[in-house]
Amino acid sequence: MKYFLDSAKLDEIKEAYSTFGIDGVTTNPRHIMLSGKPFLKAVGDIADWIAKEGLEGKERFPVSAEINPHIETTEEMVKAAREIASICGNFVIKIPCTQAGIAAARQLEKEGIRTNVTLVFSAAQAILPAKNGSLFVSPFIAWKEENGEDCRKYIKDIVDIYKNYGYYGKTEIICAAIRTPKQIVDCAVAGADIVTAGLAVYKDSMNHPFTVKGMGVFQDAWDNTAKE
């Protein structure tokens, strides 16, 4: 399973890449806002870092960048997507899972502009992006679970549907809005291709009290081992 970083902060991207070897990045308007930079500056800085690291290519290190969420028509979505895609060859364009968005993603894929259909909250919504050849589909996890739903079957259903019809591995499933290490595990068990989470979630996934306890035991043994 691939790990993407859900952030537009360049310092977090650098740390996640050097520490955890993340495979890509996902951004959204909220992440851009939290970066403190204008949209074009934020995505431009990420593009410059990609070039500096020699990570060019969507297949090597995809970065999802979202169109203006106020845009409602297919034509305007396609236009905005073309403009963003022209900035960097690594950019995959995030399109909302609406009727207009599905039509836009379908058109963009025909043009060779890869898409990530986002704001997916049901297995039914996940089918058409795969049928139309989008590179990614992003079912959200935490928002549903915060509303009292258990998302394990939801993700497993999407995986099974994709396997039934040959979509699995062609349209990759990015489990988005991941808030806990348990959600990472649930998505991995279900067979999702990718999880995308904030840096703090990945750091938290490496913590366990028995690891801390074990380090203390071994450090004590090391310190008390005969020196001669």
Instruction: Indicate which residues carry an active-site annotation.
Output: 94
> Residues for the chain: how many in total?
228
The H-or-E segment that residue 77 falls in is: helix 74-85
Q: What are phi and psi of 165, to 5 degrees?
A: -115, 15
Q: Are strands 2-6 and 24-26 parallel, antiparallel or unpaired?
A: parallel
Q: Residue 28 has which token pair? A: 């959204």
Q: Which of 45, 3, 37 is nearest to 20 (CA)?
A: 3
Residue with tokens 């993340």: 22
